[in-house]
Structure 1
Amino acid sequence: MTSYRNSEPRLPIMRESPPRLRVPFADWDRAPWNRWSFQHVREVLPTAEVWRGNGQPSSLPQLPQDLSGIPFTGVDGATRTVESFLDESYTDGFLVLHKGRILTERYFNGMGERTLHLSQSMAKSVTAATAGCLVAQGLLDPDALITHYLPELEATAYKGARLRHVLDMTSGVRFNEDYTDPLSDIGRSDVASGWKPAPAGVTDFPEHMWELILSLTTLERPHGELFAYRSIETDVLAFCMERASGRRLPELVSEFLWQPMGADESGCFTLDRAGYALADGGLNATLRDYARFGALYLHDGFFNGRQIVPADWVRQTRIGDARLFGEPYTLTTPNGAYRNQFWIEDVSRPAIMCRGVFGQLIYIDSSRDLVVVKLSSWPDFLNIEFGVNTLRMIHALANELV
């Protein structure tokens, strides 16, 4: 079954009583089911709350502008507008925050302002921002060995790696991130995280994420030599955070980010069978709260009248080493880098990004006081053309704003 764009009739997925088109557990995050499931994760998987607290939501003043007709040239040479591309790229939510004011806030495909949408790997950046708060409290040291916090990993390929290596994904641990191979390491992670059943006939998959980490015993290069995107690095970071603080990740994100930034809604993380919240991709939040998180990084961690993320941590996040960066990552960001679980679009500029498969993006440009959030449900995990065109659309938007 193929997916549908917002301009096409919506399939009645889970919309009848009882639903005729029921989401299959093995494929809940694949097209066309993800057009429904990314907004209904709490109905698919167990979750833990990221409490917003009792405070008032922080102010996000609105200054509505019609940005829909702004044109840009796609990678195929054709002219698109913001409006046409939002439809073409299976958009669920789109928000532009400029100089502290929302210029446009759009919802599609049944999404609304209170809907929690799956972040996918944007959760990595949220986890690392929380880690920066723990560093400021003296609970974590980026230069410390991972085994200082998790001595059990002496028996794995993480022996000798430092926290800095997993923050920047430069450890030398072998982890195959082939999303389409159910027997790859990321396929095993899908099962260990509770997101998927084990493939038919397979009986030796790890039962939870900690067990998966303990199984990573192959070192393919020296630690620190090269960037390679491995989702498991964020989970290693999160286990260090939990061990150092004595608290679970959803509590830490609530205390250090969600409450002080004045979130509209409580978020949630998906849980594995051992109760671990999936740091590498299991966060769910509203469109506005993703924008608030982006706003934390606009002004060196200061937002909602207070310093939330340490200023030095935010500044360091904008400084990366492009020499560690190669294909396929340079296909979308040729002069990019990766630092503190954020993508740097171009090392010569201060624009950074939180990115997730199937089209999740928070784009943060402190030089323009600009945050753009795009939540999507692409038919495919990765789409280079969509990714490049999204950045071209944002650049066209930025050039129109004053």
Structure 2
Amino acid sequence: MQNNIALSIAATLSTGVVMAKPSINETATPQEIQQIHDFFLEKDNKVKIQFPEPQSQYAWQNMSRFFPTAQITRDGQVYELPYALNNDIGMITAKVHGEAKTLNEHLDSFPVDGFLVVKKGEIVFERYNTMRKTDKHNWFSNAKITSGIELAKLVIEGKVNPQAPVSQYIPELKGSDWDSVTVYDTANMATGLNATEHDEPNHDSRTNPEQPWFKWAVSIGLFEGEGQQMPLETVAEMHRRGPGGEKFEYNSINTFVISRIVENVINKPMNEIVSQHMWQYMGANNDAFVAVSPHGGYPLQFFSMNSTLEDMAKYGMMLTPSAPKLAGHKGVGSDVIELIQTSGNPSAYHKGFAGQKFAHSFYDDTGLRNAFQFDAIFEDGDLFKSGVGGQGLYISPSKDLVIAFFSSGDGNNQEESYARQIAKSFN
């Protein structure tokens, strides 16, 4: 018999109705937790942790139970975000699948775990539905920007040549098609190589064991499957099917690759880099953690960084004028932010699955681009990154604004549309 958590989440996913209620961690019994663990241990079920299965809502808030992890440690005094609540934000409307609703109505109707708006270092809107402020939640692909930002820093510092081939920085890829792929195109999800996440002809990269992307996921321990290849061996087998730089083809393998570039140049693992460059300087509430691969112990920044919602927002604040409020640190340099804002190719954006999806979400905007692992860069310089299941981080350096949210849905409920409309409501 399905456990009570699974039944309640299944009802949520089928009806689309979520009301504010106790945290999933508060209501889970030991027996229910055991059943969820047993579910993901069943053959062929591990792959389901990426989808809004009934058991996933608990898993997404407790990823350290299901994967080995490495810590991203905090330091210094915790910065307590002050409150300056603005009830008008809850009344801002956006169109979801063509239907206009207020933010409050949306949060009552969709499986959004938490939604937070921080303006000039103050919380102006806060909503927790199925998690507590102290609960950690999986960022999924929001974590990709931790590698993108670190790579942009290295470019500004002159330590990485963005036009150099990837194999210059990853010796294991010499002699492969990565000899002809630039660091820049990899950072911008435009390699022209195969084994993409959404843009293969059969659209089954995440579910078909025969697909090269799936085989790579097996090699890093994300999925179960046959074979004992090392992760970089699977990456080296990718082949060119088009020119680089011309098409935005979303692919977590690109993040895995640039993470290895950053690690090789700095000579530290990604969890230590994120900790020492960001987490220890942002007045974080807690340590974060990231899943690591069984083979090689690679921190998997492309999909599994976990923290509280406030700490994800504080990470975003490191790219805003409020960064010094956190721990007296200047934050990410303006030259790094400008590099990200002005990179990418707008003409490539709509040619792949992801660009078309976000063009739908940001229906009032034109000239969108992606770069350094951000999914959407707007003409006004605002930045957005999304993650599987409806995770999101919206950063407006010019408006000193950060919007962060966690969800347990299918990723198509357009919380990002509300983030954009909220940003437009501020001068």
Report the TM range for the smaller structure's normalisation: 0.7 to 0.9
Aligned partner (choices 160, 169, 173) of residue 193 of structure 2: 173
Change (3 A) 1:78 1:225: closer
* Superposed displacement of residue 246, structure 1: 1.8
* Superposed displacement of residue 129, structure 1: 1.4
Paired residues for 1:2-401 under 5 Å:
2=10, 4=12, 5-7=17-19, 15-19=28-32, 21-23=35-37, 24-25=39-40, 26=46, 27-30=48-51, 31-53=53-75, 55-67=76-88, 69-109=90-130, 111-178=131-198, 180-183=206-209, 184-198=211-225, 203-204=226-227, 207-216=229-238, 218-274=239-295, 275-299=297-321, 304=326, 305-319=328-342, 320-327=344-351, 328=353, 329-333=355-359, 335-346=367-378, 348-378=379-409, 380=410, 382-383=411-412, 386-387=413-414, 390-401=415-426
Aligned-residue RMSD, C-alpha? 2.7
Change (3 A) 1:135 1:369: same
* Superposed displacement of residue 301, structure 1: 7.3
In the alignment, the residues of structure 2 paired with residue 73 and residue 64 of structure 1 have an alpha-carbon distance, to the nearest angstrom, of 20
Single out whichever of 249-258 and 304-313 deviates more from structure 2: 304-313
Aligned length: 387
Q: TM-score, normalised by structure 1?
A: 0.87
Q: Which runs of 5+ in 2 are unaligned?
A: 1-6, 41-45, 199-204, 360-365
Change (3 A) 1:209 1:307: farther
Sequence identity percentage: 25
**For each residue in 1:280-302, what CA deviation from the matched residue of structure 2 results, as whole angstroms up to 9, or x when unmatched?**
11211111111111112224976
* Superposed displacement of residue 303, structure 1: 6.2
Q: Which amino acid aligns with 1:307?
A: K
* Superposed displacement of residue 117, structure 1: 0.9
Q: Match for residue 201 of structure 2?
A: none
In the alignment, the residues of structure 1 paired with residue 368 and residue 67 of structure 2 have an alpha-carbon distance, to the nearest angstrom, of 34
Q: Which runs of 5+ in 1 are unaligned?
A: none
* Superposed displacement of residue 176, structure 1: 2.9
* Superposed displacement of residue 345, structure 1: 4.3
Q: Is the 8 Å Cα contact of residues 67 and 104 (structure 1) preserved in structure 2? A: no
In the alignment, the residues of structure 2 paired with residue 69 and residue 223 of structure 1 have an alpha-carbon distance, to the nearest angstrom, of 42
Q: Which amino acid aligns with 2:374?
A: F
What SS class does the counterpart of residue 170 from structure 1 fall into?
Answer: coil
Q: Greater share of helix residues, 1 or 2?
A: 2
Q: Is the 8 Å Cα contact of residues 270 and 277 (structure 1) preserved in structure 2? A: yes
Q: Is the 8 Å Cα contact of residues 73 and 79 (structure 1) preserved in structure 2? A: yes
* Superposed displacement of residue 168, structure 1: 1.1
Change (3 A) 1:28 1:227: closer
Q: TM-score, normalised by structure 2?
A: 0.82
Q: Which amino acid aligns with 2:386?
A: R
